[in-house]
Copies of this chain bind each other. A is one copy, B any other.
Amino acid sequence: MKLGRLNHIGIATPSIAESVAHFRGTMGATKIHEPFDLEAQGVKVCFVDTPTDSGMNGTQIELIEPLSDSSPIAGFLAKNPLGGQHHICFEVEDIEDARKWFEEQGKRILGPTRIGAHGTPIFFLHPKDMMGQLTEIMETPKEGAHWSN
């Protein structure tokens, strides 16, 4: 497998509104997308773009807020009430090839491949098999594809 783009880093927050105010007001972010619910994953999501030398196509910050107490990130926030870094997400060209690759490496995959926040297939890998990092693998959006956001 070849390392793909670091698409985003996922940051859990008790309040997307407060995190947006933080990134806009304190950190100076200028391109912040509209928040939306990703009900299949039990979270509200909001992407913050970061600049590169050639534009605003850098690694995104993905703010995630639980939709309910049974959200997968509710436990994380119970331990980290202010929020904090939750996962990292790398792109791959083909999600099925990637799934097979990680299975062959003996890495535990958390649940089925499903549609992620960018509207392309994703899966998560167990942090205990990934040097402590909850790692999301996401298929690169095809050019011209509809994005969910």
Contacts and interface: CB of A to CB of B under 8 A. Distances in A.
Interface residues of A, number: 45
A43 to B, nearest CB: 16
Main secondary structure of the interface of A (DSSP, over half): loop
A127 B26 contact: no
B50 A127 contact: no
A104 to B, nearest CB: 10
Contacts of A59: 6, 50, 58-59
A132 interface: yes
A22 interface: yes
A94 to B, nearest CB: 13
7 contacts: A3-B29, A9-B9, A9-B88, A13-B132, A26-B102, A50-B59, A52-B52
